[in-house]
Amino acid sequence: MSESISNERLSKRNLWGYSMGGIGRDMAYQLVNTYLLTFITFTKGLSNTEFAMVGVIMVICRIFDGCNDPFMGSLIEITRTKIGKFKPWILAGVFTNVAVIIALFCVPLRGTSYLIFFAFGYLLWGMTYTMNDISYWGMLPSLTSNPGDRNNLTTLANIGAGIGAGLSVLAIPSLTQGNLAIASNASKSYAIVSIIVCIVFFVCQIMTVFVVKEKPLPKVRVDDGEKRSLKDMFKVIFKNDQLKPVMASMLLYNIGSCITMALASYWIYYRFAYQGLLVTLFTVISGVSTLVIVFFPMMCKKHSRRWISKLSMIMIIVGYLLMFVISLTTGINPDADKVGFKIGEVLIPVTFIFTGLTGACAFFGQTLFYQVLTISVANTVEYNEYTTGMRDEGVIFACRPFTAKLGSAAVVGITTLVVLALGLNPTNKAISNADYEAGQLAVQVEQLVKDETPNFDSLSKEEQTKLIEAKKKSIETENVAKIENIIHTNEDTKVAKWQYQTMFAFMTLLPLVILLGSFAIYFKKYNISEERYDEICAEIAKRKLAAEGSAEVALDGADVNELENDLASSDAETPDEIFEQEAAADKISEAPDEVEK
């Protein structure tokens, strides 16, 4: 008797090897998904039309890439290699994706020329990331069907992804913009950061490929080797009445949860200061919420996912409303933003801290709800096998990145529209031009020092290096001060109070409405509870046992036919031969009873 599918246990090797792969993967994704538009906004000197075109390109590419996901899922379904079903695509994706990311952040183009390059580069980024993303997450349900192990694997995988995403959102703003930037301007800082992130991405994914051991592929499968049409793939999606609502819920979740962080850097730069450290601190304060997933398995033991989803919505409502009220009331008096403490040369306003702390409540709720949705998607794999006889992990898990990309497209569109509608692009272009000038000065820094120091050639190497480094620091400091003047002082480019307050309303109230819609769909339409999932797994195991028994009976039937043929052609003469012939006849007479059983 084969072991029940729900009792198969997950090895430590697979648990940790799989989860570690998500660290670099989500670092790279956050770099592009969260900061590419910010990078373009403040470094490429785009006009209103060009900036609008960037938004259009990103929306179109993400929608196209999302629609391409089912094809990728289908390719994974028919893949059969020595290293497994998912690993070839993980490898292909990471190799090509890192090359595209580095190109997007490192090419020294500006204006229209960058826009043309960006149109092709961004499309390639989405396609290559899809190879990796669908194969990575598609591997998850194939590693275990045990409910406890799947909860643990999902939790640890999301912790790994959260660590990677957290490292990106913590480090990238501080290292690229403001006094802590690692290069003379934002453009060069982003280039350096992109290379570092891509190295981590590559190493983590290689670790997953070599550490994780996939289950042996089935020797016999009805659809093995068949390439499924687009129509067939969408049938899998739309015939699964539990996958549809959780997809819709996750799509709205991806839109609502990402709007706040997409607009956060703009709002912080416009209201407080052009300092990446403030963006980092805002992320730290609100991002502590991701730690709640550590307790998710324990919560699942005491409460149902339905109960957890209700709790998450209460936290989201309270958090966003408090966040909006505090920001609105403190923003009435601009001098309130000048009260605070300093970290180095950067002022940290008290109003900024309060706003971030109230936001943490909302982000706690979002993290809980995302965990519920992730497990709900995974459970539709068994539901699909229960209703259709096929698991289709690749196609079903293609839905996850599909909704993420559609949601991301919507967020990019919203962000672009908000910036343009509030008339902020002239300010952004002035910042970009100042950043470009600082980069040009940094290239000429040695010559500038020589011009300012008549006896430069007679100085020692150490003294020359000190002068050059001091000049670089001076250029960086002057660049930040110049940008601060553009945002807050210059009459032609400064950001008005109504502009950043309106932006904050989009950051809080709009996500709240969208997330409530996500919760409503999930709560009303999705009904695979913990108890029902156990019943589904038990039924699947029962069917597999029955299928194995039928196969054994079929083999016995074949043996009986062979014996009958032998008897028909037999010419027994000796006592031993006669005895063997009688034993064979007895076996044939017992066969109908066995078949009946």
Q: How does residue 446 score in pLDDT terms, banded at 50, 70 and 90?
A: confident
Question: What three-state secondary structure class fits 81?
Answer: strand
The two three-digit tokens of residue 562, written as one number: 């062979």
78 and 173 share one domain:
yes
| pLDDT at position 113 | 93
pLDDT at 524: 92
CA proximity to 160, closest of 362, 22, 344: 22
Q: Which residues pair with 73 in a beta bridge?
A: none
Indicate whether 236 belongs to any domain.
yes
Which has more confidence, 211 or 79? 211
Contact (Cβ atoms closer than 8 angstroms) between residue 141 and residue 397? yes
Among candidates 28, 66, 12, 41, which has minimal Cα distance to 409?
66
First to last CA, the chain: 16
- Residue 487 resides in a domain: no
The CATH number linked to 415 is 1.20.1250.20
User: Of 541, 594, 596, 555, whose CA–CA distance to 1 is shortest?
Assistant: 541
Using alpha carbons, list the distances in angstroms from residue 457 to 169, 443, 450: 43, 19, 8
Q: Decide which of 395 and 413 is more confident.
A: 413
Query: pLDDT, tens digit, for every residue of 526-552?
Result: 988 888 888 888 888 888 888 777 656
Residue 90, Cα to own-chain centre: how many angstroms?
Answer: 14
The answer to whether residues 326 and 344 belong to one domain is yes
Mean pLDDT, residues 106-120: 93
How high is the pLDDT of residue 86?
A: 85
Average pLDDT over residues 24-30: 92
Position 456 in a domain: yes
Q: What pLDDT was estimated at residue 562? A: 58
For 30-39, 121-130, 588-597, which range has the lowest pLDDT when averaged over its residues?
Answer: 588-597
pLDDT at 575: 45
- Whether the CB-CB separation of 289 and 536 falls below 8 Å is answered with no
Least confident stretch, 92-96, 140-144, 579-583, 590-594: 590-594
Nearest to 207 by CA among 348, 87, 111: 87
Beta strands in 338-424 (DSSP E): 340-343, 346-349
Same-domain check for residues 439 and 419: no
Please give the share of the chain, as a percent, with pLDDT higher than 90.
30
Q: Is the pLDDT of residue 572 over 90?
A: no
- Residue 34 scores a pLDDT above 50: yes
Contacts of 393 (CB under 8 A, 6+ apart): 76, 77, 138, 141, 142, 381
Do 145 and 70 fall within a single domain? Answer: yes
Task: Give the pLDDT of residue 175.
Answer: 93
Does 220 fall in a domain?
A: no
* pLDDT value of residue 486: 92
72 in the same domain as 149: yes
How many CB atoms within 10 Å of residue 489? 9
Q: For residue 488, is it within any domain?
A: no
Confidence of residue 592 (pLDDT cuts 50, 70, 90): very low
**How far is the C-alpha of 399 from the C-alpha of 458, rounded, in Å?**
67
189: burial class by Cβ within 10 Å (0-12, 13-18, 19+)? Answer: buried
User: Encoding tokens for residue 512?
Assistant: 């709240």
Q: With respect to residue 537, please indicate whether it lies within any of the assigned structural domains.
A: no
Identify which has the larger pLDDT, 216 or 84: 84
Instruction: Clarify whether residues 463 and 552 are in a common domain.
Output: no
- Is the confidence at residue 574, as pLDDT, over 80? no
Q: Does residue 560 sit in the same domain as residue 514?
A: no
Domain that holds residue 509: 5-215+225-424+495-528
Q: What is the pLDDT of residue 179?
A: 84
**What pLDDT sits at residue 453?**
86
My answer on whether 447 and 560 are in the same domain is: no
Mark whether 333 and 302 lie in a shared domain: yes
Can you tell me the mean pLDDT for 284-306?
Answer: 79
Q: What is the pLDDT of residue 221?
A: 47
Whether 194 is covered by a domain: the verdict is: yes
Q: Round to whole Å and give the CA distance between 395 and 85.
A: 13
Contact of 76 with 138, CB cutoff 8 Å: yes
Number of domains in the chain: 3
Angstrom distances, CA of residue 313 to CA of 61, 296, 316, 520: 32, 16, 5, 10
Measured distance CA(253)–CA(247) in Å, rounded: 10
Residue 196's pLDDT band (cuts 50, 70, 90): very high
Tell me the percentage of the chain whose pLDDT exceeds 70: 86
Listed residue (19, 156, 146, 137) closest to 72, CA to CA? 137
Same domain, residue pair 119 and 171: yes
In-domain check, residue 272: yes
Q: Which of 264, 316, 343 is nearest to 519 (CA)?
A: 316
Does one domain contain both 147 and 63? yes
Least confident range from 22-26, 300-304, 342-346, 407-411: namely 342-346
Same domain as 303, residue 168: yes
